[in-house]
Structure 1
Amino acid sequence: MLPIQQSIFKAYDIRGVVGVTLDADVARQIGQAFGQAVRDQGESQVVVGRDGRLSGPELSNALMAGLQDAGIDVIDLGVVVTPMVYFATHVLGAQSGIMVTGSHNPPDYNGFKMVLAGEAIYGDAIQQLYQAISSGRVQDAPASPSGSYRQHDIRHAYLQRIIGDARLARPMKIVVDCGNGVAGAFAGELYRALGCDVRELFCEVDGRFPNHHPDPAHPENLQDVIRTLQHSNAELGLAFDGDGDRLGVVTKDGQIIYPDRQLMLFAADVLTRHPGGKIIYDVKCTSHLAPWIAHHGGHPLMWKTGHSLVKAKMRETGAPLGGEMSGHIFFKDRWYGFDDGLYAGARLLELLSREDDPSALLNALPQSVSTPELQLPLNDGENFALIAKLQRDAHFPGAEQIIKIDGLRVEYPGGFGLARASNTTPVVVMRFEAESARTLAHIQEEFGRVILAAKPDAVLPFSNDMAVLPVEMSLE
C-alpha cells in the first residue's frame, strides 16, 4: 500500500510509476474521490476504459471499486482508445468518464484522464481530488449504497459514427503504425471500412511496447513508417500514440507533417462551413498558422498549451476547430470537440483522397526553419519561478510583440522564440522558428542573454552553431 503523493496529480491528468507512486490502493482512493465529485455535480454514472498497459486491469478494477464505493454506477468499456471514453460520455447518458492510461509514457507508467460532468478537468479540479484524499474526506464520507457495474462494448457505435461521417473520394493506400499501443486494436478496421488499403505496423496491442515507443512526436518513432513508405506502394503514413488521441503524419517522400501544419489543412476545410469561425492553437505553433487562418476567413486565437485547456477555450469561444503542437486535434465541426487521433486521421484521408498527389499538397504547406523542442532542466518549482522573473524583467529589443499567455513567446520580424514552464516536469520548454538560420541564431542569442541574466548558472539547451532542424512535438 503506497501513500498518496501530490506529485502524481498533474496539470491535465493523474500520472505515476506503477509500484512506486501508483498502485491499486491509490487507484481505489482516486475512484472514491472522483465519485464524490461526480455526485456533487448531480451525476450518478461514470464510464471507464483502459489502454493496453500491463497494469491496466488491476488499476481499472480498483478504480471502479472506488467509484462504486462512492455510490457511482460504473459502465466498463474495457480496452479502448481514450477518445472512445470521451465518445461514450456523449452517447451513453453518462457525462463523466475516466480513461486508465499512461498515454505516451514508458511501460511502467500509468494514470487517469478524467471528464467530469462533460468537461475534461485540469488544474485546481485535479488538485481538489488530492485534497479530498489527503484530508481524509474520502474515508470520512458517509457510506453510500454501492454503485452498480455493467460492461458495454462501444466499439461498433464509435467506428460506425466515424465511418458514417468521413467520405473518401477514392481508395487510398496507407501505412498505419500504432507502436503496439491500444489504437492498434481499431485503426486497421476503421481505415479499411473507409476504403483504404492498410499496411499495419505494430498494431498488436502489447503494453511492453517491444518495437518502438508509441509516440509519433519524435522522428525516431516514425522511421518504420518512413521505410515502409519507401519500399511499398503506400502513399501516406499515419502513426498514433499509446492511447490514440494524437496523430502523426508522414508523406510518401518521408517528410513529417507536424500538427501545426496539419491544422492548416483542417482549418481551410472547416472554415468553408464556419466562415469567420475562431481556430484555437497553442503557443508552440508556427507563425505561419495565424495568417493562413485569416487568409481562409477565420479568426486565429493563440492559447495555452494543454489538451484540457484548449478544449475549455473551444467551449468558451464556440470554435469549430482547435489543435496543439503535441498532436491533439479537436474537431467540433461534425464531431464532439474532443481530441481524437483516429478521427483526425479519417478527416485527413477525406481531404487527401481528393488529390492525385497527397504528398505534394502536404509538402506545399508553409514552413520555416526551426529547432527541435529544447528543454532547460531545473529543480522542482524553479521553472515557474524563472519564467515569472523573465515575464517581469526581461527586455527584448527589436521584438514586435511579447505574448505572455503561457510563458514568453517573443515575436520578431521573420521569427519567434518561446520559453514556457512545463506543467508536467521541472523544465523550461523552448522553441525557436525563423525564416533563416541567421535570424534563428539571433533570437536564440536574445533568449540566452535574458535567461543567463536571470539565472547565471543555467545550462542553455542550445548554442549559436546548433543545427537547424524541423521542430519536434511536445511531450505534454
Structure 2
Amino acid sequence: MLNADWKHFKSGTDIRGVASAGAPDGQPIDLTDETIEKMTAGFVLWLAAKTGTAPQNQTVSVGHDSRISAARIEAAVLRALTGAGCRVLRCGLASTPSMFMTTVDLGCTGAVQITASHHPFFRNGLKFFTREGGLEGSEIEQILEHAQNGDTPPALQGTSETVDYMAQYSARLRKMIQDGVKAADYAHPLTGFHIVVDAGNGAGGFYAKDVLEPLGADVTGSQFLEPDGMFPNHIPNPENEEAMKSVCAAVMQSHADLGVIFDTDVDRGGAVDHRGREINRNRLVALASAIALENAPGGTVVTDSVTSDGLKTYIEDVLGGKQRRFKRGYKNVIDEALRLNKAGVDCPLAIETSGHAAMRENYFLDDGAYLVTKIIIKTAVLRRQGKALEDLFAALPEPEEAAEVRLPILAEDFRTAGEAVLESLRNCAAHQPHWHLVPDNCEGVRISFDERAGDGWALLRLSVHDPILPLNMESNIAGGAAMIASQLYVNLRTHTDIDASPLETFIAND
C-alpha cells in the first residue's frame, strides 16, 4: 500500500508534483532528484516484470516538454536508467505522443516523457509508455510502491545517446498529408493554404516549422512557437478560454484559412475556422467523428460523459454511427474503445471534450498533432469540392447556453462525501415531474429537464483527480441554464460537505 508521502504523486495515469519554486502557498518542491531517481528505478523494475526484459537489455527513450525543471529532471532520469544498465535514447524537446511512437519506430522497450501537460510552470511529472500504450493507474501505483520501498535494480553501467526522433515523427505527419491530400504537386499539397499555429510556448512549435511550412503552407501569424517553460503568453490548453480567444484573434488578424492550437505536450489539440470560430469541445468531437466514421460506417464513437445531447443526435442521426458516452478521463475512453473493439464492436475513435482524441488507425494514441493533421487533410479535400470545413458539422445541434460550475468538496474523505451528494440528487430527481434521469450515463448523475424546467440537461459528477464536483449544464433556451441551476441548488445547498457558493454566484450573475 502506498503511504500518503508517495500516494499524492499519482495523478490518474501520470506522476505529478511540484518541481520548481514559485508554487502558491509556498508549496515545497517534492519532485526532488532523489524522488525522481527512485521513481525511474521503479519503472525499470516494473518494465522488466512487464516485458520480461532485463534492465541491461532495455532501450528506453526520454523526452520532455518546455518546462523550466525539464533539464534537472531529465538528468535524474538518465542517472537512474544508465545506472541500471539501460540503453537510453535522449530525444530532448519532444511531444508526448512522439515518445510513445519511439516504441513503434525505434523499438524501444519503454519510454519516459517529462511533462505535467497544461499545469502551471512550477509543476512537472512523468508519463510512461510501452509498445502497448500508456500505463494504467494501477501500474503507476506499482512503480510508486517500488520507489516507496527503495527497490532498485542491480547497479550496472548503461549508455546514453542523443536521437532526433522528432525529425522522423514530423516526416511521418508530412507524408500523411501528402498521401491524404493527393495534390497535383505531391511535395507541396498545402500551397495556397494559410494556417496559424499556436503552440503556447510548449513543445508544439515543430508543427509549423517542420510539418506545415515544408509542405507549402503559409504559417505567418503563428504565435508562441518558441519553447518557454514559464508560459508567459497564455496557458497552453485548448480548453482555456484565454488561450482560445488568443488563437481565434490570430486567425482573424492574419485572415488565415485555419488555426490550430496545442497543449504543452501536444497530446491535445483544437482548431479554429476561417471566421475565427472555435472548433473544440462538442464541435471537435463532431468533426473527429465525421472523419473517423468515413472509413467505419455505422461505427461507434466513445466520448466522455459531458458531451451534449446535440452531439448524440449528430453522430447517430446525421453520421449514421453510434455514441458510447463513457466516463470522463482520456484513459477511460481509450480503454473503453479498446474493450469494445476486442468484443467485436467497430469502434474507430475515442475522444474527450478536452481535446484528447485517439484513433484506432493510430494505435489509439491520444495525439493532438495527429488529430490536427487529419483535420488539415479534410480541409484540403473539402476545398477541392468547393466546401469549407465548417460545412462538415453544420448539422450539429448546438445549445443556446452551456456552463460549468465546480463545487468544492469540504470533507477529508472527499470521494465518500461526493458519492453521498450524488446519491441524494439521484433520489431527488426520481421524484421531480419535469426531471428525467438519463439511463445510459456511466458516471455521476445526468438529468434531462423538459421545456418547463429549462429545456436542457445537467451532469453532476466527481472529478477524476480532485475534491471537486463539476456541474455541467446546457440549455436550448436563453436563461435556461440559470433555471436548471436554481432547481439543482435547492438540493445541493443542503449538503454541509460541499461548498455550494459557486452555484449561488452563477445563479446571481446569469
Normalising to structure 2: TM-score of the pair?
0.84
Contact 1:216/1:241 (8 A) holds in 2: yes
Give the match for residue 331 of structure 1: 359
Point out where structure 2 has 5 or more consecutive residues left out of the alignment.
Answer: 21-28, 184-189, 342-346
TM-superposed CA distance for 1:373, in Å, is 2.8
TM-superposed CA distance for 1:312, in Å, is 1.8
3-state secondary structure, aligned to 1:197 = coil
**Structure 1 counterpart of 2:202, which letter?**
G
CA distance in 2, matches of 1:362, 1:420: 31
TM-superposed CA distance for 1:407, in Å, is 2.3
Give the match for residue 285 of structure 2: 263
3-state secondary structure, aligned to 1:417 = strand
**Structure 2 counterpart of 1:320, which letter?**
P
Larger Rg: 2
3-state secondary structure, aligned to 1:75 = strand
Aligned match for 2:466, one of 420, 425, 430: 425
TM-superposed CA distance for 1:183, in Å, is 0.6
163-172 vs 34-43, which deviates more? 163-172
Alignment of 1:179 with 2:193, yes or no, is no
- Deviation string 1:42-76 (CA, Å, 9 cap, x unpaired) is 13332211111121111012112223334433222
Give the match for residue 367 of structure 1: 398
CA, structure 1 residues 72+317, in 2 after alignment: closer, same or farther (shift >3 Å)? farther
Give the match for residue 131 of structure 1: 145
CA distance in 2, matches of 1:457, 1:391: 11
Alignment of 1:81 with 2:112, yes or no, is no
Aligned match for 1:303, one of 313, 319, 326: 326
3-state secondary structure, aligned to 1:461 = helix
Alignment of 1:91 with 2:105, yes or no, is yes
- Deviation string 1:136-157 (CA, Å, 9 cap, x unpaired) is 3x1xx45253443333221232
Contact 1:73/1:149 (8 A) holds in 2: yes
Point out where structure 1 has 5 or more consecutive residues left out of the alignment.
Answer: 469-476
CA distance in 2, matches of 1:245, 1:142: 31
372-381 vs 422-431, which deviates more? 372-381
**Greater helix fraction, Structure 1 or Structure 2:** 2
CA distance in 2, matches of 1:342, 1:269: 15
| TM-align CA RMSD | 2.5
CA, structure 1 residues 95+288, in 2 after alignment: closer, same or farther (shift >3 Å)? farther
Contact 1:417/1:447 (8 A) holds in 2: no
TM-superposed CA distance for 1:466, in Å, is 5.7
Aligned match for 2:371, one of 320, 335, 344: 344
Contact 1:49/1:78 (8 A) holds in 2: yes
Query: 1:199-238 counterparts in 2 under 5 A?
Result: 199=220, 200-238=222-260
CA, structure 1 residues 47+406, in 2 after alignment: closer, same or farther (shift >3 Å)? farther
- Deviation string 1:182-215 (CA, Å, 9 cap, x unpaired) is 1113433212234421122110111121222212
Query: 1:429-440 counterparts in 2 under 5 A?
Result: 429-440=470-481
3-state secondary structure, aligned to 2:436 = coil
CA, structure 1 residues 250+86, in 2 after alignment: closer, same or farther (shift >3 Å)? same
- Deviation string 1:314-334 (CA, Å, 9 cap, x unpaired) is 22222211110111111223x
Give the match for residue 321 of structure 1: 349
CA distance in 1, matches of 2:92, 2:424: 51
Alignment of 1:386 with 2:386, yes or no, is no
Query: 1:6-21 counterparts in 2 under 5 A?
Result: 6-19=7-20, 20-21=29-30
Alignment of 1:156 with 2:193, yes or no, is no
**Corresponding pairs, count:** 462
Give the match for residue 408 of structure 2: 377
3-state secondary structure, aligned to 2:219 = strand
3-state secondary structure, aligned to 1:284 = coil
Contact 1:376/1:427 (8 A) holds in 2: yes
420-429 vs 452-461, which deviates more? 452-461
Give the match for residue 388 of structure 2: 358
Give the match for residue 335 of structure 2: 312
Contact 1:421/1:428 (8 A) holds in 2: yes
CA distance in 2, matches of 1:457, 1:279: 34
CA, structure 1 residues 391+70, in 2 after alignment: closer, same or farther (shift >3 Å)? farther
Contact 2:408/2:498 (8 A) holds in 1: no
Alignment of 1:39 with 2:48, yes or no, is yes
207-216 vs 197-206, which deviates more? 207-216
TM-superposed CA distance for 1:439, in Å, is 3.8
Aligned match for 1:25, one of 25, 29, 34: 34
CA distance in 2, matches of 1:326, 1:448: 26
Contact 1:8/1:15 (8 A) holds in 2: yes
Normalising to structure 1: TM-score of the pair?
0.89
CA distance in 2, matches of 1:234, 1:142: 54
TM-superposed CA distance for 1:403, in Å, is 5.3
CA, structure 1 residues 467+95, in 2 after alignment: closer, same or farther (shift >3 Å)? farther
3-state secondary structure, aligned to 2:494 = helix
Query: 1:100-139 counterparts in 2 under 5 A?
Result: 100-136=114-150, 138=151
**Structure 2 counterpart of 1:306, which letter?**
G
CA distance in 2, matches of 1:127, 1:411: 38
Contact 2:485/2:507 (8 A) holds in 1: no
- Deviation string 1:440-464 (CA, Å, 9 cap, x unpaired) is 3343234323322333762242347
3-state secondary structure, aligned to 2:200 = coil
CA, structure 1 residues 76+131, in 2 after alignment: closer, same or farther (shift >3 Å)? same
3-state secondary structure, aligned to 1:279 = strand
